[in-house]
């Protein structure tokens, strides 16, 4: 595949993703908090500091992987980096494969570090990338962590996608053992099972982003790019973010679990935290905000988001992120059924 075609593919992904609508009913609605009428804390007591094993974030919210690899997405990366710099959010770039193949594309990623020299930045590669290339991806951005995406359904619906997956686990192990920054294995919107988490745990992975179904849908995006558009029947494939977090419960003591996929409101973030997520990523909402309303408005959006997170945490008597996990949760029948059939040990 030529570099020009790759550049075009990235632009198509962004264009199609921006036009996607979320489903009216989100799986986050399947879990509720119990309300208590007399909070014991004040809003100004709430602290959003997010302590991870290897670094500390000022907020659990982060800008998840999307762009880079074309002229247009260089501009988007620049704007997202300005927002990250102004708000203190951690930020991931999209897959750096374009830059690893063609040096001319490196600036579309490097811009993120230029704009935000002291920020927490995650680089991004696919699970098939050789270890040396994964090292280059970290160097490219002086990255604080490396996201390695696992995206089999996307590859399989993508007309020109990868058809070889049996080497992924061994390659992931090599990457985890070699790279000297934390490695975050991430899905791209299909969620994770406890079996996958167990495989990752066994090879030494300490950070996982379960990125579940419910938001950006890469089956639909790739299906749009197929001549016959004949694979839409797979559009419900995968676990939702809530289901994936439930799957992760047995691993949360040993791994840093991040949530993303269909997270749209401060309430979705608090629900993810309550289910044990250590940090919570959003992608498409940032893309739409920044492309439709610009950098300043998106900074305001993030500031408002943070204020609202604190308000919700006040209602839950949660002064910090650790307290959120103690909040009382009630699941609807769908989730109870998932928990039972999957034999998950949810308290």
Q: Based on the shown chain and the rule CB under 6 A, indicate whether residue 289 belongs to the binding site for ligand FMN.
A: no
Tokens (6 digits) for 40: 């014991």
Q: Which residues of 46-65 are buried (b: 16+ CB within 10 A; e: fewer)?
A: bebebebeeeebebbbbbbb
d(CA 208, CA 205): 7
Among 7, 9, 14, 200, binds ligand FMN (CB under 6 A): 14
Q: Interface with ligand FMN by CB under 6 A: which range of 11-19, 32-40, 292-300, 337-345? A: 11-19
Q: Least distance (Å) from ligand FMN to the CB of residue 281? A: 7
Q: How far is CA 19 from CA 95, 206, 221, 233, in A?
A: 21, 34, 10, 19
Closest CA to 182 of 150, 211, 147: 147
- Does 282 engage in binding with ligand FMN (CB under 6 A)? yes
244 binds ligand FMN (CB under 6 A): no
Q: Site for ligand FMN (CB under 6 A): which residue of 59, 78, 82, 95?
A: 95
284 is in an annotated binding site: yes
List binders of ligand FMN among 56-75 (CB under 6 A): 64-66
Q: What distance in Å separates the CA atoms of residue 85 and residue 78, rounded to the nearest whole number?
A: 10
Instruction: Give the interface segment with ligand FMN, choosing from 26-34, 45-53, 135-143, 277-285 (CB under 6 A).
Output: 277-285
Q: Is 22 left (phi over 0), alpha (psi -120 to 50) or beta?
A: beta
Nearer to ligand FMN, 19 or 170 (CB): 19
Residue nearest to ligand FMN (CB): 215
Q: In angstroms, how far apart are the furthest CA atoms of the chain? A: 62
Nearer to ligand FMN, 94 or 182 (CB): 94
192 binds ligand FMN (CB under 6 A): no
> From start to end of the chain, where are the E strands?
31-33, 50-51, 56-57, 61-63, 90-92, 121-126, 145-149, 183-186, 207-209, 256-260, 279-282, 329-331
- Contact segment (CB under 6 A) with ligand FMN among 50-58, 249-257, 282-290, 330-338 equals 282-290
Element (H, E) at 283: none
147 contacts ligand FMN (rule: CB under 6 A): yes
Closest CA to 96 of 141, 144, 154: 141
User: What residues line the site for ligand FMN (CB under 6 A)?
Assistant: 13-14, 17, 64-66, 94-95, 124, 147, 149, 186, 188-189, 211, 215-216, 260-263, 282-284, 287
Q: Pick out the residues of the known binding site.
A: 9-10, 65-67, 95-97, 124, 154-155, 186, 211, 216, 262-264, 283-284
Q: Pick out the residues of the known binding site for Mg(2+).
A: 155
């Amino acid at each position: 595949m030529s570099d020009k075609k790759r550049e075009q593919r990235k632009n198509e992904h962004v264009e199609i993703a921006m036009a996607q609508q979320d489903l009216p009913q989100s799986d986050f609605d399947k879990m509720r908090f119990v309300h208590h009428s007399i909070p014991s804390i004040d809003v100004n007591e709430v602290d959003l500091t997010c302590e991870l094993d290897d670094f500390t974030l000022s907020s659990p919210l982060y800008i998840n992987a999307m762009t880079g690899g074309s002229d247009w997405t260089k501009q988007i990366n620049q704007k997202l980096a300005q927002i990250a710099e102004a708000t203190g959010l951690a930020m991931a770039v999209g897959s750096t494969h374009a830059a690893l193949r063609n040096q001319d594309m490196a600036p579309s990623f490097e811009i993120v570090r230029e704009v935000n020299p002291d920020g927490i930045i995650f680089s991004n590669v696919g699970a098939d990338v050789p270890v040396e290339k994964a090292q280059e991806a970290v160097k490219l951005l002086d990255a604080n962590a490396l996201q390695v995406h696992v995206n089999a359904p996307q590859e399989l619906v993508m007309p020109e996608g990868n058809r070889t997956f049996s080497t992924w686990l061994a390659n992931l192990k090599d990457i985890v053992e070699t790279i000297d920054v934390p490695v975050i294995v991430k899905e791209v919107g299909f969620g994770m099972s406890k079996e996958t988490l167990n495989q990752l745990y066994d090879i030494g992975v300490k950070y996982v982003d379960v990125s579940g179904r419910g938001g950006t849908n890469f089956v639909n995006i790739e299906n749009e790019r197929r001549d016959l558009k004949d694979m839409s029947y797979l559009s419900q494939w995968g676990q939702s973010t809530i289901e994936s977090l439930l799957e992760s419960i047995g691993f949360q003591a040993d791994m840093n679990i991040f949530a993303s996929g269909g997270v749209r409101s401060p309430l979705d973030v608090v629900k993810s935290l309550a289910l044990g997520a250590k940090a919570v990523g959003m992608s498409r909402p940032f893309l739409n905000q920044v492309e439709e309303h610009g950098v300043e408005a998106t900074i305001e959006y993030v500031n408002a988001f943070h204020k609202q997170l604190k308000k919700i945490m006040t209602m839950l008597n949660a002064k910090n992120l650790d307290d959120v996990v103690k909040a009382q949760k009630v699941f609807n029948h769908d989730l109870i059924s998932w928990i039972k059939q999957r034999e998950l040990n949810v308290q």
